[in-house]
């Protein structure tokens, strides 16, 4: 199992504070059936780890994996809060794509989507890059106006929902919306977005169990294939997105 979104590097963002905590997370990941993790520390107004710092922390954690014989591969990445100079900074070598591929994991603030995001995504794709929007199911503006996400996906972006959203750990309303996104081809990956081993743990095994029971094993295989294609820097063939009627969203946000 591949996890494209994980805050497991120690003392770099709001994930584990030390190597021991990272080791505990790694062991939990093995129990979840995860064999490959893309490390995605935050890049936002609060956390500004450089590419060099990420690489250094990753190398240290790789040695911990080797010393403890943990059967997990770690790959570089970053979760980048959308901002105006994102593309400029990426082209200058200041941001990490997922495993140095064409795919960048990006996120919005919880309550809003910047007015310039559509143009930014267009410019990124003109440079051969593909944005993967992290956890849109938890963005209040997208919840109220799902047509925003539809427009992004229809124009070539992709999206990733969190395993804990599938399992209902963020609440039944978020869970319901997550299923609607998946059914409308508005989400293409399931990732853990783990920060620790308690409240923000992986929950990948349970999420895939739920999805397998709900949509079948072929659907699970498609999700896994999508993640693998990202790591291999291959194009992903996804179904046509469908609009979600606002009247089907039972939120009062």
Give residue-wise pLDDT tens across range 120-129.
999 999 999 9
The confidence score (pLDDT) of residue 253 equals: 44
Q: What is the pTM (predicted TM-score) of this model?
A: 0.96
Nearest to 136 by CA among 149, 118, 125, 124: 149
Tell me the mean pLDDT in the region 68-82: 98
Give the model confidence (pLDDT) of 222-231 as tens digits. Answer: 999 999 999 9
* 3-class state of residue 96 by DSSP: coil
Tell me the mean pLDDT in the region 176-196: 98
The confidence score (pLDDT) of residue 248 equals: 52
Q: Could you confirm whether domain 2-248 is CATH 3.20.20.140? A: yes
Of all residues in the chain, the percent with pLDDT exceeding 90 is 94
The confidence score (pLDDT) of residue 167 equals: 98
Parse the chain into domains and list their residue ranges: 2-248
> Cα separation of 86 and 101, whole Å?
16
Q: Is the pLDDT of residue 252 over 80?
A: no
């Amino acid at each position: 199992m591949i996890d494209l979104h994980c805050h497991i590097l120690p003392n770099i963002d709001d994930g584990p504070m030390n190597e021991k905590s990272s080791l505990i997370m790694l062991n939990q990941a093995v129990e979840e059936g995860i064999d490959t993790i893309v490390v995605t520390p935050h890049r936002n107004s609060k956390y500004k780890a450089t590419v060099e710092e990420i690489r250094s922390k990753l190398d240290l954690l790789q040695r911990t994996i080797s010393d403890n014989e943990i059967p997990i591969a770690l790959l570089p990445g970053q979760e980048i809060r959308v901002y105006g100079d994102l593309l400029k900074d990426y082209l200058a070598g200041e941001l990490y794509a997922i495993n140095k591929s064409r795919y960048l994991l990006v996120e919005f603030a919880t309550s809003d989507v910047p007015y310039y995001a559509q143009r930014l995504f267009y410019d990124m794709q003109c440079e051969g890059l593909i944005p993967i929007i992290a956890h849109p199911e938890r963005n209040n503006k997208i919840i109220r106006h799902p047509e925003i996400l539809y427009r992004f996906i229809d124009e070539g972006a992709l999206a990733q929902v969190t395993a804990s959203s599938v399992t209902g750990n963020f609440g039944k309303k978020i869970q319901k919306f997550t299923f609607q996104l998946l059914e409308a081809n508005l989400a293409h990956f399931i990732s853990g977005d783990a920060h620790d081993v308690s409240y923000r743990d992986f929950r990948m095994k349970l999420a895939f169990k739920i999805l397998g029971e709900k949509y079948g094993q072929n659907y699970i295989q498609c999700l896994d294939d999508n993640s693998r294609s990202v790591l291999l820097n291959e194009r992903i063939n996804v179904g046509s997105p469908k609009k979600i009627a606002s009247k089907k969203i039972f939120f009062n946000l």
